[in-house]
Amino acid sequence: MIIEKMIVKTKPGIDIVNITDELRKIVAKYDIKNGMMNVFVMGTTAAIIINEDEIHLKEDFKKLFEDFIPKDRLYFHPENAYSHLRSLLLSPEKTIPIREGKLSLGQWQSVMLIEFGKRKREREVIVTVLGV
Amino acid sequence: MIIEKMIVKTKPGIDIVNITDELRKIVAKYDIKNGMMNVFVMGTTAAIIINEDEIHLKEDFKKLFEDFIPKDRLYFHPENAYSHLRSLLLSPEKTIPIREGKLSLGQWQSVMLIEFGKRKREREVIVTVLGV
Amino acid sequence: MIIEKMIVKTKPGIDIVNITDELRKIVAKYDIKNGMMNVFVMGTTAAIIINEDEIHLKEDFKKLFEDFIPKDRLYFHPENAYSHLRSLLLSPEKTIPIREGKLSLGQWQSVMLIEFGKRKREREVIVTVLGV
């Protein structure tokens, strides 16, 4: 049982920060062979995603959320409802297998934090590992 | 290893029920220090979400799903396809860290069951905890 | 701690493949009584979903993604951005409780792999079980 708190610095949204290397370092540091890693961001206007970290694709990710949930629509919740709604469609957490001493990601899979808030933040990400 | 079944009473959808206090009680009852909690609703027209429990924001959550997946559109599946589709965009489960004896949620994060079904229900929610 | 790799054959997207029976066999094979199962697809254009496996409803699932994220729109990422975006709205993984020797799914819940890629694939799915 390992729990680590990471701080991830983000720019005003939409910002996408690849945290895969930090997660891989935790697997190596504790020499985990097999298990599960849960990655959880402690915020309501950010999310954890797993997909390809490619510059044009990340522009598509941003445009998708800007189109679906525009900033300038009227919402019931004042100020930043759009940031909450965008996060709601994703999730604050992902659980990832660890296998043969490695984070078991596919060739194109990166774990990323997506920031939907409107100011720069220091996001707390809790990484929990169960395994042997 | 702890498994508890909770019953969550819901009103016809869209209803949002905060279950964070019940989850915190499970952590306290078994005196878990560190671990992972999985929260899973056994239904195809409901989901588990984590976001802010604020009255206006919850109206925005409801409107988002009513706009994206309207009740009165024609679907292939008769009757309640819209309830299934709304659930599909979310997920029946979330996994949450437990850290230093507490559910490791951010200041504004609540765990909520969202009911998309069209009648009142008693939803079975399975809470599984792995930890020490 | 059990980790198994499954290969799931898919047709060009959108294809939905029910893998619940294979997951149930893993629970039975290792005689797990209580625990958590994580199901993770190692790809960026596929996802794991839990909902009802009903033929008309699956047509609605497909239409939802075809409507929201059309194939023929212009994207920044060439070729298959739509496949990535559709996967992003879902997730590559789900974590499911095992209770009293069984996968704790509701009556209508099936675990399915949804293929958004445009060619047939052999998808690697990692199934990790923690339990007793």
Domain with B120, as residue range(s), is 2-131
Report the alpha-carbon distance of residue C87 to residue C91 in Å, rounded.
6
pLDDT at C78: 86
Burial A98-123 (b: 16+ CB within 10 A, else e): bbeeebbbbebbbbbbbbbbeeebeb
Q: Does B57 touch chain A if contact means CB atoms closer than 8 Å?
A: yes
- Does the distance separating the beta carbons of C91 and B91 come in below 8 Å? yes
pLDDT in tens, C47-97: 999 999 999 999 999 999 999 999 999 999 988 999 999 999 999 999 999
pLDDT at B78: 86
pLDDT in tens, B47-101: 999 999 999 999 999 999 999 999 999 999 988 999 999 999 999 999 999 999 9
> Higher pLDDT residue, C19 or A132?
C19
Number of domains present in the structure of chain A = 1
pTM over 0.80: yes
Taking 90 as the threshold, does the pLDDT of residue B3 lie above it?
yes
Report ipTM (2 d.p.). 0.97
Best of B27, B36, B56 to disrupt the A interface (most A CBs within 10 Å) is B36
Nearest CA in chain A to C82: A60
* Cβ neighbours of A40 in B, within 8 Å: 95-97, 104
pLDDT at A5: 98
The pLDDT confidence band at residue A122, using thresholds 50, 70 and 90, is very high
State how far Cα B14 lies from the chain centre: 12
Percent of chain A with pLDDT over 90: 95
Instruction: Closest CB to B52: pick one of A44, A78, A91.
Output: A44
CA A3-C131-B112 angle, 5° bins:
65
Taking 90 as the threshold, does the pLDDT of residue A8 lie above it?
yes
* Whole-number CA gyration radius for chain C: 16
pLDDT at A41: 98
Taking 90 as the threshold, does the pLDDT of residue A78 lie above it?
no
Cα maximum dimension of chain C? 50
CATH of the domain at B50: 2.60.120.460
Instruction: Closest CB to C51: pick one of B40, B68, B84.
Output: B84
